[in-house]
Amino acid sequence: MSLRAKFLALFAVFAVIPLIAIGIFDYVYSMRALETLIATQVDEIATRSAAQIDQSFAVRESELLLLTENTETQRLYQALAGDDPRAWDRALGSADAYLRQAWNVMSPYYSRIEFRDANGAAIYQLPPASDAGSAVLGDEGAPYRANVMAVVRPIFDEAGGREVGSLFAAIDLEQLLPYEELAARFGETGYSTVVDRFRNTVV
């Protein structure tokens, strides 16, 4: 081997190869640091989003509880159990006035709310039938539209404690999910999603 070849070989061993090794090490270290940064940021976004979803859903739960346990709803179901049409008409008229006022406050968060009897037949709905648009909830409460989440809550007779009906509600996901948090992303193509682990679907 010539002196020139030996010199080039020594240069490769003591200069080029260490530089390549340092470059690979720096690349791996940078990638791991970036992955750690992304994981930390995603964890913070998920934690904030979960807290906001819990808070928003807790408010929706309190609203649904108010709709099932108020005096007007109780009277409506008591009249439903009786055989007096006049008592039903009075209870329906009184409940209608109250529930319409409640709907004026709650309507930004719901697509539909239905009161059903023990057999699952709808006896009252919000918005009222004359104002309702296309169907939102099926017979079993499953939503027809992808942008709503259906919840079902039992209605109990406060006097006897027995279940007399059900409240079906279609909650607008756009009002439930914190889109200002979901807008957080990395780079130009990053995005955030909320996944329902129970159903294994993207919400």
User: What is the tens place of the pLDDT at every residue in 30-69?
Assistant: 888 888 888 888 888 888 888 888 888 899 999 999 999 9
In a domain, 100, yes or no: yes
| pLDDT tens digits, 66-117 | 999 999 999 999 999 887 888 999 999 999 999 999 999 998 899 889 999 9
The rounded Cα 193 to chain-centroid distance in angstroms is 11
| pLDDT tens digits, 142-200 | 555 567 788 899 999 887 789 999 999 988 888 877 777 677 776 777 777 777 777 77
pTM for the full model?
0.69
In a domain, 37, yes or no: no
- Which residues are CB-contacts of 76 (< 8 A; sequence separation ≥ 6)? 91, 92, 95, 115, 123, 124
pLDDT at 19 over 80: no
Q: Is 161 left (phi over 0), alpha (psi -120 to 50) or beta?
A: left
**pLDDT score, position 50:** 83
CATH number for position 154:
3.30.450
How many Å apart are CA 101 and CA 115, to the nearest integer? Answer: 16
What letter does residue 14 receive in the DSSP assignment?
I
In a domain, 10, yes or no: no
In a domain, 125, yes or no: yes
Band of residue 135 on the pLDDT scale cut at 50, 70, 90 = low
- Which residues are CB-contacts of 114 (< 8 A; sequence separation ≥ 6)? 122, 124, 125, 126, 137, 167, 168, 169
In a domain, 134, yes or no: yes
Question: Residue for token digits 């009249």?
Answer: 79
**pLDDT score, position 164:** 93
In a domain, 54, yes or no: no
Question: Residue for token digits 């039938």?
Answer: 129
β-pairing, 163-172 with 201-202? unpaired
In a domain, 199, yes or no: no
Mean pLDDT score, 15-34? 78
Per the structure, the complete domain to which residue 103 belongs is given by 61-180
pLDDT at 10 over 70: no
CA atoms within 13 A on the CB side of 60: 27
pLDDT at 1 over 80: no
In a domain, 114, yes or no: yes
Specify whether the CB–CB gap between 98 and 72 falls below 8 A: yes
**pLDDT score, position 145:** 59
Q: How many domains does the chain have?
A: 1
Q: Which residues partner with 110 through β-bridges? A: 171
